[in-house]
Chains A and B, each alone.
Chain A
């Protein structure tokens, strides 16, 4: 099979000197099946966030087998994981998608004893607590759908059972993005999204399962209602939340709604919108155009999300071994460093540290002032010397998570109400 990563790899090895090739061959990758594993091709699909060709070519280089990447939007990812189990070997999905997909039995549980860095995975994904004092946030917290009862389990268990549904790979804390130059005053609450001051200049994302959480943060911040669990609303709570937003929509509060990453970038960069729900790399994209944009930390905390990789139920034999090797490699640091230098967090931060400079680690993880220019893995300057990350350190940001992206019991009702909101 000719895959893009393969071509890249061969070009790379031709360009490199023989010495480098020898060094590459001597890398301490466990050779379970010897040469046979080189013929393995694993098909991975997921959202664009972590499905990067750089990862595929590095896998080829370090582990010897091929990884085919397909990037889709989160709706399509859910659809594919739930309906076409034979079309993939590895699913890179979010935890709330896992809650929907796991009961179908299309994914198989992973034996944590085969995961070398299992003990180093941050607490959020195991006990649910980042630090022993942490309070578990509302919504579909990753640890609540992270474990199953056994090798063939299709249920979720609340303790660390030794069988994981997804191996956490990447996560972040989301908040509102603002244009400080067009707002001209400090913003510190979620309720500002519906402030009439920004009439016709606000936006929210049109992905119901995430949008409803942002709405809930706003409603609570306005003091309208305190949810027992934002991640699992009752019908009345859904009506209340969408009612408030429908009224705002009718009053012309929103300029537009966005569904894809680039739409949110364009809305912000063009000045159509000055305050909106946004994702971290979108902020970076706006800023790289020389336009001021801040990922504003807010008093009520963050809405967080996490992704992980799951194995297809049909994976077995040498492919399954290759998949475990891939997972162990994933957690061993290179990918973590690659992702953390884009502003995400790795599930095993301490291994990623080896693949980042001290300044990069200080800026991205510890929230320290950058000593030199901070570049992303592609070499573009993200921040100049002296910059500090919005929201501060890892513990400041991930410690202030108020809720996780979620699927509710009343999801179908919520979706219908969401459609009404869009049509209103």
Chain B
């Protein structure tokens, strides 16, 4: 079985990544790229202050989105796993969570735009309640709207793995904690949370990887006013600067791998699963 698998991985994973690494050392003119071994692309990348700002911005999006998706995802999963008693209801409610995912994620994202706009539903409702006197501008085309869309799009990726691990927790452990005199919060903190770590970690990897690699959400929800690494790569590709795009992609890949490497130091997913 190893043979065909190695072939599939080799062709669809290793080869493209190697190709991207190779091209990142090539040179480019206005309309073509030529094989070479240049460090220009990297030199420009690391010497530009913008690169650092954009990477920082990408980390910022990832961190904030992670925090929100974790809190919401954990709560939802906890409710489903421990408060809903019957399996039928658990499945029904879980499926309910997935319903929004039957539409395309672009549609789910764009539908926020008219809602949050200057004359949108959110602003007109707040004004009719008398909470605000004039439309709030930062609702749309801001970091707020970008993160809102990210959280909305990716929370399910946190719910699913956490719910999955929670379902495997032996209920007698919870009872034992309670018998030993632990309060609800203590049980949550010292029993449930440690046992859910693998799920949290898988969810984290999903969310972090998705947010770090995104470009379209940032473009639409910030009204093209903010940049992340994905948009930098997209701009380069659009302008036929493939080597420069490859160099950025390689740096992004290394960053994400490093990040996941660090995360895996905390939890040994293999052992826990």
The answer to whether B137 touches A422 (Cβ under 8 A) is no
Nearest first, the 9 A-B pairs at minimum CB distance are A256-B223, A257-B224, A423-B227, A75-B238, A82-B31, A420-B50, A206-B224, A256-B141, A100-B31
19 A-B pairs within 8 Å (CB atoms) are namely: A75-B239, A79-B238, A82-B32, A200-B137, A203-B223, A254-B223, A255-B223, A256-B141, A257-B225, A259-B219, A259-B224, A266-B113, A272-B118, A412-B241, A415-B235, A415-B239, A419-B50, A423-B226, A423-B232
The answer to whether B50 touches A78 (Cβ under 8 A) is no
Q: Which chain B residues border A422 with CB–CB below 8 Å?
A: 224-225, 227, 231, 235
CA distance in complex: A211, B228 (Å): 20
A363 on interface, CB distance cutoff 8 Å:
no
CA distance in complex: A424, B54 (Å): 9
**Given A82-B32, A200-B137, A272-B117: A416 in contact with B44 (beta carbons within 8 A):** yes
Interface residues of A in 9-25 (CB under 8 A from B): none
Nearest A-chain residue to B44, judged by Cβ: A416
CA distance in complex: A249, B224 (Å): 12
Among B44, B53, B222, B224, max chain A CB count under 10 A is at B224
The 8 A CB mask of A395-424 against B (1 = contact, 0 = none) is: 000000000000100011001101110111
CA distance in complex: A335, B162 (Å): 60
Nearest A-chain residue to B110, judged by Cβ: A266
* A-B contacts besides A256-B223, A407-B30, 17 pairs, CB < 8 Å: A82-B32, A104-B31, A208-B239, A255-B223, A256-B141, A256-B225, A258-B224, A259-B224, A270-B114, A270-B119, A270-B120, A411-B30, A412-B28, A418-B235, A419-B227, A423-B54, A423-B232
Task: Choose from A75, A249, A259 the contact partner of B225 (Cβ within 8 Å).
Answer: A249
Nearest-neighbour CB distance to chain A for B246, whole angstroms, equals: 15
The answer to whether A257 touches B239 (Cβ under 8 A) is no
Q: Which chain B residues border A101 with CB–CB below 8 Å?
A: 31
Q: Which chain B residues border A100 with CB–CB below 8 Å?
A: 30-31
Task: Choose from A104, A208, A258 the contact partner of B32 (Cβ within 8 Å).
Answer: A104
A-B contact count (CB 8 A): 81
Nearest-neighbour CB distance to chain B for A260, whole angstroms, equals: 10
A103 on interface, CB distance cutoff 8 Å:
yes
CA distance in complex: A259, B216 (Å): 12
**Given A75-B239, A270-B119, A423-B54: A412 in contact with B224 (beta carbons within 8 A):** no
CA distance in complex: A194, B222 (Å): 20
The answer to whether A255 touches B141 (Cβ under 8 A) is yes
CA distance in complex: A208, B118 (Å): 27
Nearest-neighbour CB distance to chain A for B43, whole angstroms, equals: 13
Interface residues of A in 282-314 (CB under 8 A from B): none
B160 on interface, CB distance cutoff 8 Å:
no
Nearest B-chain residue to A418, judged by Cβ: B235
B240 on interface, CB distance cutoff 8 Å:
yes
Task: Give how many B residues have a beta carbon under 8 Å from the other chain's beta carbons.
Answer: 33
The answer to whether A271 touches B235 (Cβ under 8 A) is no
The answer to whether B240 touches A79 (Cβ under 8 A) is yes
Nearest-neighbour CB distance to chain B for A133, whole angstroms, equals: 35
Nearest A-chain residue to B120, judged by Cβ: A270
B140 on interface, CB distance cutoff 8 Å:
yes
Nearest-neighbour CB distance to chain B for A410, whole angstroms, equals: 11
The answer to whether B241 touches A415 (Cβ under 8 A) is yes
Nearest-neighbour CB distance to chain A for B44, whole angstroms, equals: 7
CA distance in complex: A270, B123 (Å): 13
Q: Which chain B residues border A407 with CB–CB below 8 Å?
A: 30
Q: Which chain A residues border B232 with CB–CB below 8 Å?
A: 419, 423
Q: Which chain B residues border A423 with CB–CB below 8 Å?
A: 50, 53-54, 57, 226-227, 232
The 8 A CB mask of B39-83 against A (1 = contact, 0 = none) is: 000001000101001100100000000000000000000000000
CA distance in complex: A130, B223 (Å): 38
Q: Which chain B residues border A254 with CB–CB below 8 Å?
A: 223, 225
Nearest B-chain residue to A99, judged by Cβ: B30
**Given A249-B225, A422-B225: A82 in contact with B240 (beta carbons within 8 A):** yes
Q: Which chain A residues border B141 with CB–CB below 8 Å?
A: 255-256, 272
The answer to whether B31 touches A271 (Cβ under 8 A) is no
Nearest-neighbour CB distance to chain A for B51, whole angstroms, equals: 9
Nearest-neighbour CB distance to chain B for A45, whole angstroms, equals: 16
CA distance in complex: A412, B32 (Å): 13
CA distance in complex: A79, B137 (Å): 37
**Given A255-B141, A257-B223: A412 in contact with B118 (beta carbons within 8 A):** no
Nearest A-chain residue to B114, judged by Cβ: A270
Q: Which chain B residues border A412 with CB–CB below 8 Å?
A: 28, 30, 241
Task: Choose from B31, B227, B231 the contact partner of A103 (Cβ within 8 Å).
Answer: B31
Nearest-neighbour CB distance to chain A for B110, whole angstroms, equals: 10
Nearest B-chain residue to A79, judged by Cβ: B240
Q: Which chain A residues border B54 with CB–CB below 8 Å?
A: 423
The 8 A CB mask of B193-235 against A (1 = contact, 0 = none) is: 0000000000000000000000000010011111100011001
**Given A75-B239, A412-B241, A419-B50: A272 in contact with B140 (beta carbons within 8 A):** yes
The answer to whether A271 touches B225 (Cβ under 8 A) is no
CA distance in complex: A64, B48 (Å): 56
CA distance in complex: A266, B220 (Å): 12
Task: Choose from A200, A206, A270 the contact partner of B117 (Cβ within 8 Å).
Answer: A270
The answer to whether B224 touches A270 (Cβ under 8 A) is no
Nearest-neighbour CB distance to chain A for B163, whole angstroms, equals: 37
Nearest B-chain residue to A271, judged by Cβ: B119
Interface residues of B in 108-131 (CB under 8 A from A): 113-114, 117-120
Nearest-neighbour CB distance to chain A for B245, whole angstroms, equals: 11
CA distance in complex: A259, B215 (Å): 14
CA distance in complex: A343, B5 (Å): 57
Interface residues of A in 52-85 (CB under 8 A from B): 75-76, 78-79, 82-83
Q: Which chain A residues border B50 with CB–CB below 8 Å?
A: 419-420, 423-424
Q: Which chain B residues border A208 with CB–CB below 8 Å?
A: 239
Nearest-neighbour CB distance to chain A for B138, whole angstroms, equals: 10
CA distance in complex: A420, B117 (Å): 26
Nearest B-chain residue to A409, judged by Cβ: B30
